[in-house]
Amino acid sequence: MPHDLHASAQAGLRRRISRRRLLRGATALTAAVPLAALLAACGGDDSTGGAATTATEPAEAGTGSAATPASASPTAATSPAASGGEWSFTDDRGITVTLPSRPERIVAQTAAAAALWDYGIRAVGIFGPYRAEDGSPDFQAGNIDLDAVEYLGDYGEMDLEKLIALQADVYVDFALYDKQLWYLGDTESRVKEIVPTIGISMQGVSILTSIERFEELAGLLGADRSAPDVVEAKEEFAAAEADLKAAIAEKPGLRVLVVSNSLDQLYVASPEWMTDLHYFADLGLDIVKHQTNDFFEALSWEQANKYPADLILVDQRPGLLTQEQLNAIPTWTSLPAVQAGQVGPWYAGAPYSHKRFAPIMRELAEIVRNSRDDIV
Q: Which residues pair with 261 in a beta bridge?
A: 266
Domain-located, residue 192: yes
Please tell me whether residues 188 and 241 are part of one structural domain.
no
Q: How far apart are CA 376 and CA 373, in angstroms?
A: 8
Please tell me whether residues 219 and 364 are part of one structural domain.
no
Domain boundary among 162, 195, 224: 224
Rounded to 5°, angle at Cα 152 from 321 and 201 = 70
Q: Which domain holds residue 88?
A: 55-224
Domain boundary among 177, 207, 224: 224
Q: What are phi and psi of 238, to 5 degrees?
A: -60, -40
Domain-located, residue 45: no
Residue 243 sits in a domain whose CATH number is 3.40.50.1980
Domain-located, residue 27: no
Q: How far is the CA of 112 from the CAs of 123, 195, 337, 341, in angstroms?
A: 10, 16, 33, 33
Within 10 A of 374 (CB to CB), how many other CB atoms are there?
9
Please tell me whether residues 237 and 220 are part of one structural domain.
no
Q: What is the pLDDT along the chain (376 residues), one digit of tens a residue?
A: 333 323 333 333 344 334 444 445 544 443 333 322 222 233 333 333 333 345 666 533 333 333 333 333 344 444 444 444 899 999 999 999 999 999 999 999 999 999 999 999 999 999 999 998 899 999 999 999 999 999 999 998 999 999 999 999 999 999 988 689 999 988 999 999 999 999 999 999 999 999 999 999 999 999 999 999 999 999 999 999 999 999 999 999 999 999 999 999 999 999 999 999 999 999 999 999 998 999 999 999 999 999 999 999 999 998 899 999 999 999 999 999 999 999 999 999 999 999 999 999 999 999 999 999 999 9
Fill in the amino acid letter for 6: H
Domain-located, residue 123: yes
Domain-located, residue 25: no
Helices and strands, number each (H, E), in the chain: 14, 16
Please tell me whether residues 127 and 268 are part of one structural domain.
no
Please tell me whether residues 165 and 259 are part of one structural domain.
no
The answer to whether 102 touches 222, Cβ cutoff 8 Å, is yes
Rounded to 5°, angle at Cα 117 from 352 and 161 = 100
